[in-house]
Structure 1
Amino acid sequence: MSIFKTLGLSQAIVDSLTDLGYEQPTEIQKIAIPQILGSKNDLKAFAQTGTGKTAAFSLPILEQIDSDNKNTQAIILSPTRELAIQIANNINEFSTNLKSLKTIAVYGGANIEEQIRPLKRGVQIVVGTPGRTLDLIKRRVLNLESIQWLVLDEADEMLNMGFKEELDNILEKTPKSKQTLLFSATFPKEVEAIARNYMNNPTEVSAGQKNVGADNVEHEFFQVSERNRYPALKRIADVNPDIYSIVFCRTRRETKEVAEKLIEDGYNADALHGDLSQAQRDLVMQKFRNKNLQILVATDVAARGLDVNDLTHVINYKLPDQTENYTHRSGRTGRAGKKGISVAIITSKERNKLKPIERKIKKNFVQKQVPNGKEICEIQLFKLIDKIHDIEVNEKEIKDYLPDIYEKLHELDRDELIKRFVSIEFNSFLSYYQDARDLNNNDAPGGDRKRPGDESLVRFYINQGKMDDLTPARLIGLINECLKKRDVEIGQIEILKSFSFFEIDKDFTKDVLEKMNEAQFNNRSVIVEVTAKPKGRSNKRSSKGFGRKNTSEKRNDDFKPNRKKPVSGGRRRRR
């Protein structure tokens, strides 16, 4: 008997799973499927990314849904278009033997009329992004009267992307009698708040510990100078010839620059960032999923909901501002029982950022030395030898050319032939790394020079801080809500006691001043002003910033708001 059968699933669904090659349920599936089938209680479920959450919530819904009733009975919310499409595809595969059941993915960036038509004909399961789902509800196209299940998948990701307002609206409009299923890889305060406000005495289940890293992922760091960050990335790629990796950068600009450098240097790479059209994004993702690309360079926002199997490495070209984001990044490798490696490239001044991550993931980083030229050449040489040894010879096609080939090479003996064939590709690595310098000497004079601040980012003061319950995640959400954009380049964030600082792409300066000065946060008017960047630092956190104890809030060089002219929309409003 199938193990899935013992979980309470019907033979029709079990047969679909068997045809798809599903043999053993994952830990979260073993826990969640019987719970959802056997109880109408709301459910809070923790499981790392890539542990089979989609099947954990969709299979019990498919088991109970009335496929003869054309009304929408389940809504599944996900943070991105890609994840919504993937979930809908998975459900269609699971329900192959449920002939009357219809599932649709709805998301922004696509023709809404083409999504409205099937909804009017009748769809039992709707998988959507919060923005488009809410739009369809407001248009009264998505009818909520028959909703029995509401699933929040990757709830932490949705909140990090600034979807709180949309989630609140959707949750308020759905029937109170529904069963709410909340699945998340991490449970920050904002996710817990949603559970408190919109769930009724939820049962909590967990496949692993909350907010910790996946067991199959090893965590390594390479300490280099700032100017050696990119050369170190290249050596990490070269010493792993079979690398299949996502390289995470902090900003769109950095993502473009790193990807362009890798392509120019001959690496099989491309970029994924907010400036790409949906068609361009789909093309890049298709190439990466088909493994026509080995390295994808991406921002956190662009990679939301990205689901790719068999990644060997996740490389943090720059560490993220939020510890939870590191957990999401590293969780993209080491899936389905396979081993994965999460790499951080840091400078000596960034080493203290590893400690809070280690506390969160319950694992220690292992320091590795950036490989030298000799190590890389040796690995590449034997990779080439293996390639020659394993190549399949097409006797039929090559035989007509062999006499001429033998004639041209008849003066060369066996040893000489081997040397020459190996040297064809090996010479390029040998010449490149022949006099390669040691990148690990990050404490050498001039090794980590201070550099001018990034002129593409503008620094702002905001009159909200820890006293107002402001966190980096909530600040990013506020920015997204005010600007109505989710791909704005955000730099450093410093949360202090009663005020804070943040950096944003200079192209959005006017929008920030106009929109954020019209906003409120925790029933208090928001005031945002342009301020000078701190002297003597380049894009590094203040010692009073996130993750450090705030000992003083004296307005010194860290705070010099531009008060020469009135700032548009910047006056304090009457309460």
Structure 2
Amino acid sequence: MSSFKDLGLSENLLGTLLELGYEQPTPIQEIAIPQIINYENDLKAFAQTGTGKTAAFSLPILELIDNESYESQAIILSPTRELAIQIAKNITDFSKNIPGLKTVAVYGGASIEDQIRTIKKGAQIIVGTPGRTVDLINRRVLKLNSIQWLVLDEADEMLNMGFKEELDKILAVTPETKQTLLFSATFPKEVEAIAKHYMKNAMEISAGTKNVGADSVSHEFYLVSDRNRYSALKRIADLNPNIYCIVFCRTRRETKDVADKLIADGYNADALHGDLSQAQRDIVMQKFRNKNLQILVATDVAARGLDVNDLTHVINYKLPDQIESYTHRSGRTGRAGKIGISIAIITAKEKRTLSSIEKIINKKFEQKQVPNGREVCKNQLYSLIDKVHDIEVNEKEIKEYLPDIYEKLEGLSREELIQRFVSLEFNQFLSYYENTQDINEDGSSKGRQPDANFERFYINLGKKDKINATKLIGLINENLKVRNVEIGKIEILNNFSFFEIDKNYLDQTLEGFKRTSYNGRNIIVEQAGSKKGSGKRKKTKRY
């Protein structure tokens, strides 16, 4: 393996990397850094989440950038504010010994006036989310006419989140002479289309195989009924006393619900979702990074950009709507040379989706049995004993109390002391799991169990109309004209589709799609059949 010195970096940057504890480049850094420094070709780079992509594109830019000019020379786009903040922080750390070099993060959920003032003072590197970047361009504050490097980080996720229009606007105001660097964990057709349209003579590099899960992550699934999903989550957490994980949910409502239940049941957990202010999100993330939280419950969008190296598990409470997103979820664990486990809690109905994910990541899921109470208690008890065995005794602090303690415990044998200690610490846990039932399913599909919080709708648009989940979400938001409505599961079929909406917005949904069309075709929206597993739809309230 090469050293950072072999990659063409200056002594200034090498000294900074040494200060920050960077010893050896990762495979993507080893390939990308000299490529960007020595060649002006555009670059398509594949690397899994957590493999050091930020350093791979930022270090060569810092090597080449003109720190004496205050013009913006590099624009880095990321799908979420968390990722934008993290990238900007990393670049600030890397450039701390470069005089006059300024990096600014621009993103929604924070004061645009403060960001405008910072940009006007001069910043060579801008890191932004697509929406806020377009806003600043429209306000004629952010000028990209001198841009030499455009980085699209997590390009696949930006497209999944519906940012194609914003990307088009941003790229249109950058000079043709720039070097475009596209980094992505997966390369779906939409990303290839962006590369083909906006990149010239692009080199392609890869640290791994496209669209394949990381080797450091193993994949497991537990098969349960929908009503036992939360119970399975608790048992998985209890089976792993030292768990440090992200639990992924599909909606904000589900995230809140799961986190609230975990907290009420005594777990060290909290939630991260779109309804939190930036200050609240920062507090939750700081607690999680400091390991004051063991379990973070989050949506896909909220969890993008989390840079936490020691996660033991990622748990998919529900599989993502966009199956490519599974790669990003699982990539949160198994980082920085560590081993991680990605778990999916699924119902029989979701086994087909799991098979599709296996094809994308080119790895098989191993089916595990939800543990019974005896297995959970055994793991918890042994973990407790290990902690007692390994605890460092501070005899100086407890010395004065020991004579009285010895006197109170006089007459108890070693065995009796251990039994009483275990009972004191463990009786409540043993009682909870004493009569637990087997909640594993046999794999037979018993029909779809709808979420009671959502109403299911039929729409007469499908794959043949070139509809995907992102476009359908856009149509729903456009026609409902109501902000922050929860959208549940989406199923895109050939000739029609199904989607779920917060049941409180049933009438607004039906009313909103009256006399609407898509590409010249009249849209029909109906309530889907209420009979479980029927697949039929009602003939009432048709528009």
Tell me if TM exceeds 0.5.
yes
What amino acid sits opposite 1:388 in the alignment? V
Deviation at 1:486, TM superposition (A): 9.4
CA contact (8 A) 1:272 1:299 kept: yes
What amino acid sits opposite 2:316 in the alignment? N
Change (3 A) 1:429 1:284: same
Distance 2:31 2:286 in 1: 33
**Range that drifts further, 71-80 or 255-264:** 255-264
CA contact (8 A) 2:2 2:30 kept: no
Change (3 A) 1:342 1:92: same
- Secondary structure of residue in 1 paired with 2:301: coil
What amino acid sits opposite 1:147 in the alignment? I
CA contact (8 A) 1:221 1:365 kept: yes
What amino acid sits opposite 1:459 in the alignment? R
- Secondary structure of residue in 1 paired with 2:99: coil
- Secondary structure of residue in 2 paired with 1:345: strand
1:420 counterpart residue number: 420
Deviation at 1:435, TM superposition (A): 2.2
Distance 1:282 1:12 in 2: 31
Deviation at 1:31, TM superposition (A): 1.1
- Secondary structure of residue in 2 paired with 1:467: helix
1:59 counterpart residue number: 59
Deviation at 1:181, TM superposition (A): 0.7
- 1:531 and 2:526 matched: yes
Q: TM-score, normalised by structure 1?
A: 0.88
Distance 1:60 1:31 in 2: 11
2:191 counterpart residue number: 191
What amino acid sits opposite 1:500 in the alignment? S
CA contact (8 A) 2:223 2:443 kept: no
1:550 counterpart residue number: none
Match for 1:505 among 499, 502, 517? Answer: 502
Superposition pairs for residues 294-333 of structure 1, below 5 Å?
294-333=294-333
CA contact (8 A) 1:161 1:480 kept: no
Change (3 A) 1:464 1:172: farther
Deviation at 1:518, TM superposition (A): 9.3
Deviation at 1:321, TM superposition (A): 2.2
Distance 1:261 1:25 in 2: 42
Deviation at 1:108, TM superposition (A): 1.1
Change (3 A) 1:507 1:138: farther
Cα shift readout 1:229-286 (whole Å, capped 9, x = no counterpart): 2111111111101101111122222222221221111111112222222222222111
CA contact (8 A) 1:529 1:562 kept: no
- 1:470 and 2:467 matched: yes
Distance 2:447 2:365 in 1: 26
Change (3 A) 1:246 1:4: same
Change (3 A) 1:107 1:73: same
- Identity score, percent: 70
1:496 counterpart residue number: 493
Change (3 A) 1:507 1:27: farther
CA contact (8 A) 1:462 1:526 kept: no
2:456 counterpart residue number: 459
**Range that drifts further, 524-533 or 364-373:** 524-533
**Range that drifts further, 183-192 or 509-518:** 509-518
2:541 counterpart residue number: 562
Distance 1:517 1:190 in 2: 31
**Range that drifts further, 353-362 or 475-484:** 475-484
Deviation at 1:463, TM superposition (A): 4.4
Change (3 A) 1:362 1:144: same
Unmatched 5+ stretches in structure 2: none
- 1:178 and 2:178 matched: yes
**Range that drifts further, 466-475 or 391-400:** 466-475
CA contact (8 A) 2:458 2:527 kept: no
CA contact (8 A) 1:162 1:476 kept: no
Superposition pairs for residues 92-103 of structure 1, below 5 Å?
92-103=92-103
Cα shift readout 1:440-469 (whole Å, capped 9, x = no counterpart): 25479xxx8768633432334444322232
CA contact (8 A) 2:246 2:297 kept: yes
What amino acid sits opposite 1:243 in the alignment? I
**Range that drifts further, 273-282 or 479-488:** 479-488
CA contact (8 A) 1:519 1:525 kept: no
- 1:437 and 2:437 matched: yes
Deviation at 1:33, TM superposition (A): 0.9
Deviation at 1:87, TM superposition (A): 0.6
Distance 1:525 1:180 in 2: 36
Distance 1:368 1:67 in 2: 54
Distance 1:142 1:511 in 2: 39
Deviation at 1:226, TM superposition (A): 2.4
Distance 2:524 2:442 in 1: 37
CA contact (8 A) 1:28 1:51 kept: yes
Distance 2:79 2:399 in 1: 56
Deviation at 1:297, TM superposition (A): 1.3
- Secondary structure of residue in 2 paired with 1:159: helix
1:83 counterpart residue number: 83
- 1:283 and 2:262 matched: no
What amino acid sits opposite 2:400 in the alignment? D
